[in-house]
Amino acid sequence: MSPSPLPWTAVIGGAVAAVAITLVLVTLGSGLGLAWVSPVRGDNPSAAGFTITAAAWLIVVQWVAAGLGGFITGRLRTKWVGTHTHEVFFRDTAHGLLT
């Protein structure tokens, strides 16, 4: 049986990095949300505005985490010496999408 051309260690490493980035950014968003709302002030944002902002933040967090996780996966993969540049780009992209 021939070895797999897909380095699963790079895919798993990129996925772990994406999860870690997600946790950091969600924690940052929680802190910003708690700082935005105050029980002392009377000019708190409406529930609809707060929900839309939180949803937009979570979407941005997922885009950033998935992009960085995919980038890390592409950089962690094994080097293919003598392989055409287009094939290397395709494989890097495939590894990033698997993350």
Residue whose token pair is 């929680």:
30
pLDDT in tens, 43-87: 777 888 889 999 999 999 999 999 899 888 888 877 777 778 888
Higher per-residue pLDDT: 73 or 99: 73
For residue 61, the model assigns a pLDDT of 97
Give the integer Cα–Cα distance in Å for 15 and 86: 24
For residue 1, the model assigns a pLDDT of 57
Model confidence, pTM = 0.76
Per-domain boundaries in the chain? 8-37+45-98
With a pLDDT cut of 70, the percent of the chain lying above it is 94
For residue 99, the model assigns a pLDDT of 66
Give the integer Cα–Cα distance in Å for 44 and 33: 11
